[in-house]
Amino acid sequence: MNNRIKKALSLVASLKVAIALLLLITIYIIIGTLIPQHATQALYQSNYPTLAPIIDALSLDAAYSSPLFISLVILFIINLTSCTLLSLPSQLRRSRSIYMPPFKAESEYRVEEEDEKMVKSYLKRKHYRIDTDEGGFSSGKFRWGALGATVTHIGLIVIFIGAVVGNIASDQEMISLLPGSTREFEEYGFSIHLDDFYLTFEESGAVKQYISDMTITNDDGTTHRQSMWVNNPLHHNGLGFYQANFGWTSDLLIRQAETGESLVSGLIRNGNTYFYQPHHLNIMLYGYFPNMDIDVNQMPYSINNREDNPFYAVVLTQFGVNVGSYIIEPGQVIPYEDIAITFTGSTPYTGIVVRSDPSYPIVVAGFIILTFGMFMSFYLYPRFLFYTNGKLYAESGKNGWVFYQAIKSGITAQRKTGKQ
């Protein structure tokens, strides 16, 4: 191979480059945690007038999807892959069952023990393979632990591949359903029907759980029922359904005041407005407060979501002019000219994240490989022993001292018990 190519390759795979990239990535990530993400330009202009141009130029408002960050991560993965491939032959050589490192007679990691038979007995008990030669014997185990770093790196690369696949192939939408409503997922060959959605409460009134009871109907007509809640998603035909949030839908009823004849009946959510055309009247449901109280600013708020003290805050406007603000109980009437406006009750709707993500199994595989690789590196590292002239030498590279301590205490214990 051309020398220049070799030099370029070793630079790409070098630890120096890896550390430099990791430091840059870390700095970038830290900045990303300090600057609010996905905010408006106006906010950056007002909060960080000096830094706003830099935030804009480096896309720090969307730090983790910015071209600069993605480039740094890709460069790091190239470095990691090259380093892993280049070091693989030597690691494979060291992981072979016949490999022994050079013997260092000057090593301090040695135990004085004349009784060779006892030492052999101890090592056999610890599952060391012993190779006897003229001057004594040598022994080793966990040689394959030399591949720990490679396995760890492969784990990281697999996680990266998973993240890329996730970015390209995952799809997500947020849906909200009222009990009794159905949503089709034609592409996936099924529909879901929300049979019921309800909240359970702690004694304090805090929400204990949000529960959606679903019926899933496949295109072939088969059905099954399943409940989902936070931490218990529903999976079907490659789609995941996750309990994400909830809200209230309130029943608005407008009647003829004199006759009681129903003019309008419909559902309205908090913050939404219904336009009653005959009177040019905007009926805004400022909010439904299931357990209402009044705060220090004389504004209504809900203590919790248990319907212990339900009230509606309603604002009426006509041609942009406020014509009345009311706080009413369910069923209480707001009289306006010849009509009567009431809110008869409220029903919670469920907010569900629907997500397909083919990358997740890849990422989990990466997690497992990464963890196993680290465990190999730290605890299944290669261990070698040389016995000569009544001395047992422990050799285990960077873990030498710890290995030596274990061997020393093991041999001492064996000596005390007198086992052979």
Partner 1 sequence: MYQSIENTTFMIAIVLYIASAVLSLLSVTGIVKKGGKVATSLALAGFITHTAAMVARTIGAGRLPFSNQYEFALSFSWGIVLSYLVLYRLYGFSAIGAFVMPLAILVMGYASLQSRDVRPLMPALQSYWLTFHVGTAILSYGAFALAAGISVIYLIDEKKKGSQRLVQDPEVSDMLSYRVIAFGILMLTIVIISGAIWAQKAWSRYWAWDPKETWSLITWIIYAIYLHLRLRRNWKGRAAAWFSIFGFISVLFTFVGVNILLPSLHSYAT
Stretch that binds partner 1, among 50-58, 89-97, 127-135, 235-243 (CB under 8 A): 235-243
The backbone region for 259, taken as left when phi is positive above 0, alpha when psi lies in -120 to 50, beta otherwise, is alpha
Amino acid at 164: V
| Site for partner 1 contains 64 (CB under 8 A) | yes
The burial of 22, by beta-carbon neighbours within 10 Å (0-12 exposed, 13-18 middle, 19 or more buried), is given as middle
Q: Distance between CA 371 and CA 377 in Å, rounded? A: 10
Site string for partner 1, 98-137 (x = CB under 8 A): ----------------------------------------
Three-state SS string across 261-279, please?
A: CEEEEEEEECCCEEEEHHH
Stretch that binds partner 1, among 17-25, 47-55, 254-262, 291-299 (CB under 8 A): 17-25
Could you tell me the smallest distance in angstroms from the CB atom of residue 231 to partner 1? 4
Site string for partner 1, 334-353 (x = CB under 8 A): -------------------x
| Site for partner 1 contains 230 (CB under 8 A) | yes
Nearest partner of 291 among 314, 273, 307, judged by Cα: 307
| Single residue of 8, 11, 30, 105 touching partner 1 by CB under 8 A | 30
**350 to 181, 183, 240: CA distances (angstroms):** 11, 13, 15
| Site for partner 1 contains 244 (CB under 8 A) | yes
**167 to 65, 162, 170: CA distances (angstroms):** 10, 9, 6
Torsion of CA 116, 119, 121, 126, to 10 degrees: -150
| Site for partner 1 contains 391 (CB under 8 A) | no
| Single residue of 3, 50, 222, 231 touching partner 1 by CB under 8 A | 231
Could you tell me the smallest distance in angstroms from the CB atom of residue 185 to partner 1? 16
For 92, the 3-state DSSP assignment is helix
| Site for partner 1 contains 163 (CB under 8 A) | yes
| Single residue of 8, 23, 54, 105 touching partner 1 by CB under 8 A | 23
Binding site for partner 1 (CB under 8 A): 15, 18-19, 22-23, 25-26, 29-30, 32-34, 37, 64, 163, 172, 202, 204, 206-210, 229-233, 240, 242-244, 353, 355, 357, 360, 363-364, 367, 370-371, 374-375, 377-378, 398-399, 401-402, 405
